[in-house]
Amino acid sequence: MSADIPELKNFNAAELDRVFAQLESEVATQAGALTSDAAIEAFRLEWLGRKQGRLGQLSASWLKNAPPDAKKSLGIRFNQLKSQIEAARSSTAADTGAKEISGLDFTLPGTTRRVGVEHPLVQTMAEIVSVFQRMGYSIGLGPEVETDFYNFEALNFPPNHPARDTQDTLVIADQEKKPLRDRLLMRTHTSPVQIRTMLEQAPPLRLVIPGKVYRNEAEDATHLARFQQVEGLCVDTNITFSDLKGTLDHAMKALFGSSVKTRFCGGSGCRKCKHSGWIELLGCGMVDPAVFESVNQRRIELGREPIYDPAKISGFAFGMGVERIAMMRYGVSSVGNFYSADMRFLEQFA
């Protein structure tokens, strides 16, 4: 029998009392000398280590040779000894920690951990989305790398439409050999999510679509090649332009205050509105029936039933740049400030 394992002459109660009292005394003596984390860890390894721990060696040696009627009593004593070891280790560790803390000067000022806030663009996008969620709109998301079909064709952009010009669209390389509708590009708007949603869901539909879009723009105070956009789509029976006006008027008042007035101009923009107190914030309009036809055709191609009947349903769509809204709300003159990572600018929103 090694020096680490006391000799056990037999397995009667008196002999077990003797050897376990010896072990418990040794544990108590060692525990009183533990004054550091390193000593506590060495104590744990000596007694409870998986490979060389004394408790494991004792258990393997004594239980193996114990008669059946003594194994239960022997197991109980091992559990008691293990509990004593663990209690000694835990209490000593707590005492050591208290001693280390007592060395601190609590009169010194503490270190303040600054709490961050959401970026102003993230805040603005979340607020826009929440306005439409409160009106019953669900959130739609989709890929930023799109096919020509979802980005243009299904939305009724013919092949010669100016929006397809490569000077405006960032096209993925090596797509020339593919059919036009399958060519990949960076989406120029979040509108493809409208098509993807209509392919999967039947009307009625109310959808708000936040996300990042890309265009080959010359960057200046109001333009970026990558920017954030929120679009919306409403499709149901008897949807009219009055529904569109009421929805967007409510949304703008929710974002800018109830005193804000809105008006709707035809065409792609209003030069006559310049310098008159009116700011163009978003584009909108009724959904072209050709878009519903395109969705139906695609559903047929996918082996599904055409469910968007232009004779029975109508809808409207709108889209706005999040940066433009944020610039108006916070009085920011250059869109580049939002992406500059200049803490002097961003701390204004903390």
Q: Give 85-141 pLDDT, tens digit per residue.
A: 888 888 776 666 555 555 667 777 877 777 778 899 999 999 999 999 999 999 999
Residue 3 has a pLDDT of: 47
Q: Which two tokens stand for residue 53?
A: 């721990």
What one-letter code names the amino acid at 148? D
Note the pLDDT tens digit of each residue in 146-201.
999 999 999 999 888 887 776 688 999 999 999 999 999 999 999 999 999 999 99
Asked whether the CA dihedral 98, 103, 107, 110 is positive or negative, the reply is: negative
Pinpoint the alpha helices (H) of the chain: 13-31, 37-48, 54-65, 68-102, 120-133, 148-151, 192-200, 241-256, 289-301, 322-330, 343-346
Residue 99 has a pLDDT of: 54
Residue 107 has a pLDDT of: 78
What CA–CA distance (Å, rounded) separates 116 from 273?
A: 40
Residue 182 has a pLDDT of: 94
What CA–CA distance (Å, rounded) separates 144 from 120?
A: 22
Residue 285 has a pLDDT of: 93
CB 199 within 8 A of CB 233: no
Better-scored residue on pLDDT, 35 or 272? 35
Residue 317 has a pLDDT of: 96
Residue 1 has a pLDDT of: 37
Q: pTM value?
A: 0.64
* Max avg pLDDT among 21-25, 48-52, 305-309: 305-309
Q: What are phi and psi of 265, to 5 degrees?
A: -115, 150
Residue 108 has a pLDDT of: 77
3-class SS at 186? strand
Residue 198 has a pLDDT of: 96
What CA–CA distance (Å, rounded) separates 245 from 340?
A: 36
Better-scored residue on pLDDT, 251 or 60? 251
Distances (CA, A) of 24 to 19, 44, 48, 95, 129: 9, 15, 14, 21, 67
CB 190 within 8 A of CB 319: yes
Better-scored residue on pLDDT, 96 or 329? 329
* Max avg pLDDT among 21-30, 42-51, 59-68, 201-210: 201-210
Note the pLDDT tens digit of each residue in 264-302.
876 555 444 454 566 778 889 999 999 999 999 999 999
Question: How does the average pLDDT of the chain come out, rounded?
Answer: 86
Q: Which two tokens stand for residue 8?
A: 């056990």
CB 140 within 8 A of CB 209: yes
Token pair 């940066």 in the structure block, residue: 323
Percent of the chain with pLDDT over 70: 90
Better-scored residue on pLDDT, 81 or 124? 124
With a CB cutoff of 8 Å and minimum separation 6, the contacts of 109 are none
